[in-house]
Amino acid sequence: MKTIDELLSEGVTGKRVFVRADLNVPLDGTTITDDGRIRAVVPTVKALADAGARVIVASHLGRPKGAPDPAFSLAPAAARLGELLGAEVAFAEDTVGTAAESTVAGLADGRVAVIENLRFNAGETSKDDAERAAFADKLAALADVYVGDGFGAVHRKHASVYDLPKKLPHYAGYLIATEVGVLKKLTDDVQRPYVVALGGAKVSDKLAVIDQLLGKADRLLIGGGMAYTFLKAKGYEVGISLLQEDQIPAVEEYMERAEKNGVELVLPVDVLVSSEFPDLKTKAPANPTTVAADAIPADQEGLDIGPETRKLYASKLADAATVFWNGPMGVFEHPDYAEGTKAVAQALVDAPGFTVVGGGDSAAAVRTLGFDENAFGHISTGGGASLEYLEGKTLPGLAALED
């Protein structure tokens, strides 16, 4: 795929450059609680603006139902982008209507505008090819060139991700180029030992990537809510812990295959349990109990890996040449259940090799728990996109850029 450096070498002064970013940041009302994704696109936007382009930044935020919804406005993200750029960023209150047209028409060379949430238009996410293409045509009318830099959305066959680049000269931004380069290190040129730590709530979300990793990784460390399906598959009592009973046969098959392939599949040996889920708003003390992984009481729920598991997982990461981590080890949003996730993050910091934090909740946890982002080899902006790449799937947004 062509990169932004090639575009810049061709000259962009006065050109309208449409940057498909990922500004899908978490909001508390209108307050951004984690601006990582906005910061990630700044190098691309700044390079284009500094070169004299008229930059139009577009993104989705949340899951509005194809119509305007103030709760999902990109206005806070536009304001934060302006702060990070140190320059005023214009904001259009629609995507392809009169506000967007007049805002773009009023851009001077080297200036930046953000248009409103793409998902306020049903055509953005439509499964109907014609409807998506019609919306992409309207977006294309705003610009001369397309730069794809929203890695967190490249696994979606959406109008701004898949259809629009086919209608304009297209290039990959710095973020996408970096993300793809990192993922190739996890698939094509892996340094060993290769250790993967997987957490998060649902094992069903990770089955396809586990299937692929059983042929590539040296060790798989399992934590988070998904671990209890593995523990149940071993015949353990898991109480009222998160459990996907329908996935037990698949998990049993994967455990057998791991043993057959010589892949070390490591499960928790102890867990923190409680009879009720913690209050994440007040952060009131939860007072959990630590029990062995095979001794979870019937009326208790596992909410984090225990201290012995933290030590075990740290030891399994200590010699890793390559690490990929996706998914927290517990309910890290509450201080009483954050230690497992914190221990894995610290083990990545201490590991001698190349470490990748696979986006989503893991990236949020790293920042929430106060880690220096530069202590990791790479923090991805796209959890779902990273997983689908590792699963071997074709990502529509990358395929469109490669055409």
Element (H, E) at 53: none
CA–CA distance, 380 with 287 (Å, rounded to integer): 33
193 preceded by cis ω (within 30°)?
A: yes
Q: Measured between alpha carbons, how far is 63 from 56 in angstroms, rounded to an integer?
A: 22
User: Whole-angstrom distance between the N-terminal and C-terminal Cα of the chain?
Assistant: 7
Just list the catalytic residues. 37, 202, 360, 384
Per DSSP (E only), the strands in 40-105 are 54-58, 89-92
3-state secondary structure of 379: strand
Residue 250 amino acid letter: A
| Conformational region of residue 224, where left means phi above 0, alpha means psi within -120 to 50, and beta covers everything else | left
Residue 143's CB is within 10 A of a number of other CB atoms, namely 22
DSSP string computed for 156-192:
S--IIIIIGGGGS-EEE-HHHHHHHHHHHHTTTS--S
User: DSSP for 293-345?
Assistant: TT---TT-EEEEE-HHHHHHHHHHHTT-SEEEEES-SS-TTSGGG-HHHHHHH
Q: Dihedrals φ, ψ of 28, to 5°?
A: -115, 90
